[in-house]
Amino acid sequence: MRHELVICTRNRADDLRQCLESVAAQSNPPCRVVIVDSSDGDSAERVAEEVAGRGSLVIKFVHTAPGLTLQRNAALALIEESTDVIHFVDDDMVLDRDYLRLILSVFREHPNCGGVGGRISNLPKRRAKGVVRWFRYAFLLDSPRPGVLLPSGVGVICRTGDQPRPVDWLSGGSMSYRRRCIAGLRFDESRSGYGMGEDVDFSARVAGRAPLVWTPLAVIEHRYPFNHGDNIQLRRRAVRSRWQLAKHGVGSVIRAAVVYAVIGDALMLLAMAGVFRSRHHARQACATLVGLVDVIKGLPV
């Protein structure tokens, strides 16, 4: 089974080096690594040349304008037609030695599946407990079923498990696709910057064509999970991202459920602000509601 691995990177040469070293150490290394760089300097290219010079990896390096979705689409245009599986990993990922081998084994065991994701080993623990967790379930902000894409546009991430399971979406840091199942699909370039929600959007559209599978056996470490900047701005973007899923008819996401979840989230945050006398929770509640105003204004993700 021919497989290629895509890494999109920007101004993180040290992380890229560590990622590439873990790729080079794979028990079943990729036939080729496609690196799409949007860095301000040439440090990433020098890292790629150094690793390729050791002879352990075949690397195709290209430079584009910044934007994760744009970079991923540039990578898709470079994938060879003979390739069966395309892996996407973030530049700050470190792959367990058998990660790619175990991902490919799932494709072999599930010949009809269109995509496979692995287990991110160092995800933050779930913080909501007791009554708060049940309120989150009620407002479509969480679910006891891992891997589901809720009508509110919230994707519930898989954290633990013993066996592979079917899922509605795949996390962008660990997603692999059968090339024939994504023919003609592209990442949404209206999702600017690091492309918030692009993984849910793309993988859920693939799920409309062929089943997706998550396996806990293929392990990968995310060095900086969910480290994307200001939490207040992230909340506003998250609302716009979920609304765009509903607007484009992705999965079972609908606009009424998005609004319902946003209002429920804001109410819970305001309650927490009162109980804990927390200005931070109050600001989060306001930012969540402002996300709806952004939607009305038509602001992009």
Residues 190-241 pLDDT 10s: 998 889 999 999 999 999 999 999 999 999 999 876 655 568 899 999 999 9
Tens digits of residue pLDDT in 99-152: 999 999 999 999 999 999 999 999 987 777 888 899 999 999 999 999 999 999
Mark out the alpha helices in the chain (DSSP H runs): 13-24, 43-53, 68-76, 99-109, 130-138, 198-207, 231-247, 255-276, 279-297
Take residue 17 and report the two structure tokens written for it: 């080096």
pLDDT score of 230: 65
Are 216 and 162 in contact by the 8 Å Cβ rule? The answer is yes
Are 147 and 167 in contact by the 8 Å Cβ rule? The answer is yes
pLDDT score of 106: 98
The β-bridge relationship of strands 59-63 and 32-37 is parallel
Q: Provide the β-strand partners of residue 166.
A: 213
Are 197 and 245 in contact by the 8 Å Cβ rule? The answer is yes
If you average pLDDT over residues 37-64, what whole number do you get?
97
Take residue 193 and report the two structure tokens written for it: 């910057």
Take residue 91 and report the two structure tokens written for it: 């530049």
Tens digits of residue pLDDT in 227-242: 555 688 999 999 999 9
User: How long, in residues, is the chain?
Assistant: 301
Torsion of Cα atoms, 17 then 22 then 214 then 167, to 10°: 10
Tens digits of residue pLDDT in 151-178: 999 999 999 999 999 999 999 999 999 9
Are 241 and 258 in contact by the 8 Å Cβ rule? The answer is no
CB contact set of 137 (below 8 Å; sequence gap of 6+): 143, 144
Please give the Cα distance from 102 to 14 (Å, whole number). 26
CB contact set of 198 (below 8 Å; sequence gap of 6+): 68, 69, 72, 172, 187, 188, 191
Tens digits of residue pLDDT in 53-87: 999 999 999 999 999 999 999 999 999 999 999 99
- Entry pTM: 0.95
SS3 33: strand
pLDDT score of 85: 98
